[in-house]
Amino acid sequence: MARWGMVIDLNRCIGCEACTIACKAQNFTPEGVSWLRIVKTEVGQFPNVTKLPFPLQCQQCSKAPCVEVCPTRATYVRDDGIVAVDYDKCIGCRYCIVACPYGARTFDDKVTTYFPAGKTEFESFAAGFTDDPDQTKVLPARHQSGVVEKCVFCVQKIESGLAAGLTPGVDAAATPACVVTCIGGSRVFGDLDDPNSAVSRKAASPGAYRFHEEYGTEPNIYYLPVRTVA
C-alpha cells in the first residue's frame, strides 16, 4: 500500500495562488471556502527582510489530532495515509477544527451560493458531479451544510487514476490538482514509501522539514526551505 505525500519547494513557489484556484475548481468548494491557502511570511533580519509565500493546507498527519478528538470517528487516517472525513458520521461538533494546529478545516452551517440570484452553472454542475458511494465518503456528491470539510489530496483523482492503471504523481489525471497546475513546479507528489519515487527523494533532501514537527503529528507534507534571502 502506498503512503501518499507531497513535497513543496519554497524556492519555486511564487505565490501566484494558481494552486488555490485549481483546488476550488477541482473540489467545487463553496464561496469563501479554500482548502489550500497561501500565507505571507516574513523572512530575514532587519534591514534584510522580505515576505515570502508559504502554501498551507491539511498536512495529512500520520498522528492527526483531529482523529483523536472526533467523537464519532468520522475523521480517520486511511491505509494510504490520507486523512479523510466520513460525512455520514460527521455531526458538525467542530472539535477537529479546534484540534487542528494547521487551520486546515472548514465548516459551513448553511448552503450558500456565489450570487444571490441563485446557482451559477459551475455550482449546478458541482451539485451532482459524483454518484459514486465510495467517493462520497470522502468527497460528497454535493457540499452540504453541517459537516466539516478539508483537503483530501484530491483522492477522487487518485482512486480513479489507479483504477485506470495510472500513477499518482506521474500522470496528471491521477495527481492532485494543485500539483498539476503549479506553474513553478514547486509541488511533487507520490508514494513516500517508494524510495525510488521523486517525492521520496525530495523528502530526503538536506533541510527538508515538516511544518511544526514539534507537535508530533508526523505530517505527510514536507517543505524545502528557501536557500537565500536577498
Low-confidence winner among 105-114, 135-144, 192-201, 218-227 (lowest mean pLDDT): 135-144
Q: Strands 106-107, 36-45: parallel, antiparallel or unpaired by DSSP?
A: unpaired
Residue type, 128: G
User: Quick one: cell of 82?
Assistant: 490520507
Residue 226: pLDDT over 60? yes
Provide the mean pLDDT of the chain. Answer: 90
Cell 477537529, residue? 96
C-beta neighbour count of 21 within 10 angstroms: 15
Q: Tell me: the pLDDT tens digits for 81-118?
A: 999 999 899 999 999 999 999 999 999 887 677 788 87
Give the three-state DSSP class for 161: helix
Choose among 206, 212, 201, 211: nearest CA to 227: 206
User: Quick one: cell of 177?
Assistant: 490538482
CA pair distance 39, 32, nearest whole angstrom: 16
pLDDT-derived band at 129 (thresholds 50, 70, 90) equals low
Q: Tell me: the pLDDT tens digits for 36-76?
A: 999 998 878 888 888 899 999 999 999 999 999 999 999 99
The fraction of the chain above a pLDDT of 70, given in percent, is: 90
CA pair distance 209, 116, nearest whole angstrom: 44
pLDDT-derived band at 140 (thresholds 50, 70, 90) equals low
Instruction: Between 30 and 9, name the one with better pLDDT.
Output: 9
The number of C-alpha atoms within 13 Å of 14 and in the hemisphere containing its C-beta is 7
User: Quick one: cell of 6?
Assistant: 507531497
User: Quick one: cell of 201?
Assistant: 527523494
